[in-house]
Amino acid sequence: MHLMTECMRWFGPEDPVPLSFIRQSGAAGIFTSLHQIPYGEIWPLDAILQHQRAIDAAGLVWTVVESLPVHEDIKTGRGDLSRLFDNYTTSLRNLATAGIRTVVYNFMPVLDWVRTDMRWPLPDGSCSMHFDPVRLAAFEIHALNRDGAKDDYSTEQIRQAGHWWKQLAEEDKEVFVRSIIDVFPGVKWSLSLNDIREMLAPYEGIDEAVLRANLARFLEAILPTAEELGIRLAIHPDDPPFPVLGLPRIVSTATHIAEIFDIADSPSNGLCFCTGSFGSRIDNDLCAMVSRFGSRIHAAHLRSTRLLPDDCFLEAGHLAGSFDMAAVVHALLDELDTRRSSGAEEWQIPLRPDHGHIMMDDLGKPEGITPGYPAIGRMRGLAELRGVMHGLRHRIEKAPNKCTATPSLPPEVFPRVHRHP
């Protein structure tokens, strides 16, 4: 049976979920990064190999780099760009030397992903992440005091934002602000609101077209090396897939992806298909996107969002969102088959469950450097996705409803039981 490789994200030695636990989830591969290296600096081969050895020792494989971050100067098109491009390609070379050839990156200005509540209580007692534009308005207008923020919201949203902000206790304001400005993967930079203002300033005058031109300059600089090394770059969509903080967005829709692929028609210029990001827009038809961009999908993040009234959304169970996850998985399996039947050597699409509900034992644990990535909720997500994949494969490859006996079971799943005499 040809399935997508099941993976999990690991944030490195500081991750409260160790590799030994990840192994127990049934995942075979790891999406990870060298979070300790500042954005824009070279990833030395030694550091890559050391990270890889830790993963190997746990019986897993470093399948995908997530992410090799893109420095803000590249996005704004300022500073010593040729040094940054050289550093990026050197890191790609070092990764290829270690045999790692799928590399995720994003082109989101200033912030990585944004939610307005990291612990939204669900009726079953678990917690999810939630996005509410009213709360983002409160952040922008009352905490950040961004010029022009009010122009991005309706009068009613501004009114509700003021009301919500006023009733928040001082310490809750602090927690709320931190949860927006300090959610970079695997690190806590302890950024202040002033740092964010300084990071926003260079974007003055940068609209979608300029940001896309800056992405094009970056891709044109690094793609020749990526192609030579057989590296598949995979851009991650904007999360959420619409403008925040008055910043342009260029990776939110099918039109955007087509524009990015137009920059360079190269297999190295690929996509990380994040269903949760794309799925937070009602006008994104996920199955159509898989069919249209299939050959360029180099990695998948599978997660569901439930779209709610007033432009809110919450992160639903992996199969319980507003779009049909099983249909998306089916489309991805079809893409695998297309690759295989065309004789492609690299036919795999590694997947990882993205995010997960905070549930059971994880409810009492601090989020630390990995908000959104509790062990149990992600494992539940992976198990559900695995079930969908196997069920679909069974339907596709075997006669419907026919039960075929399994001739042998892999020994690592059912090891010999040593009984006392």
Binding site for ligand DNO (CB under 6 A): 66-67, 104-106, 112-113, 185, 236, 301, 354-355, 372
What is the distance between the alpha carbons of residues 354 and 90, in angstroms, rounded to a whole number? 29
* Residue found by looking up tokens 């939610």 in the block: 115
- Catalytic residue, from 236, 256, 298, 357: name it: 236
DSSP 35-103: TTSPTTS---HHHHHHHHHHHHHTT-EEEEEE--PPPHHHHHT-S-HHHHHHHHHHHHHHHHHTT--EE
Please report how close the Cβ of residue 416 comes to ligand DNO at its closest, in angstroms.
40
Please report how close the Cβ of residue 108 comes to ligand DNO at its closest, in angstroms.
6
Active site (annotated) includes residue 301: yes
Active site (annotated) includes residue 298: no
Ramachandran region, residue 237 (left: φ > 0; alpha: ψ -120 to 50; beta: rest)? beta
Active site (annotated) includes residue 274: yes
Closer CB to ligand DNO, 112 or 311, in the complex: 112
Please report how close the Cβ of residue 105 comes to ligand DNO at its closest, in angstroms.
5
Closer CB to ligand DNO, 237 or 294, in the complex: 237
Active site (annotated) includes residue 236: yes
What is the distance between the alpha carbons of residues 202 and 210, in angstroms, rounded to a whole number? 12
- Catalytic residue, from 71, 130, 301, 330: name it: 301
Residue 251: CB atoms within 10 A of its CB come to 25
What is the distance between the alpha carbons of residues 303 and 240, in angstroms, rounded to a whole number? 13
Please report how close the Cβ of residue 236 comes to ligand DNO at its closest, in angstroms.
4
- Catalytic residue, from 71, 130, 330, 355: name it: 355
- Catalytic residue, from 88, 354, 357, 362: name it: 354
Closer CB to ligand DNO, 212 or 301, in the complex: 301
Q: E strands, 142-224, where?
A: none
Active site (annotated) includes residue 354: yes
Amino acid at 239: D
Closer CB to ligand DNO, 238 or 335, in the complex: 238
- Catalytic residue, from 130, 274, 357, 362: name it: 274
Q: Is the dihedral of CA 113, 247, 88, 303 positive or negative?
A: positive
Closer CB to ligand DNO, 31 or 139, in the complex: 31
- Residues with catalytic annotation? 236, 274, 301, 354-355, 373
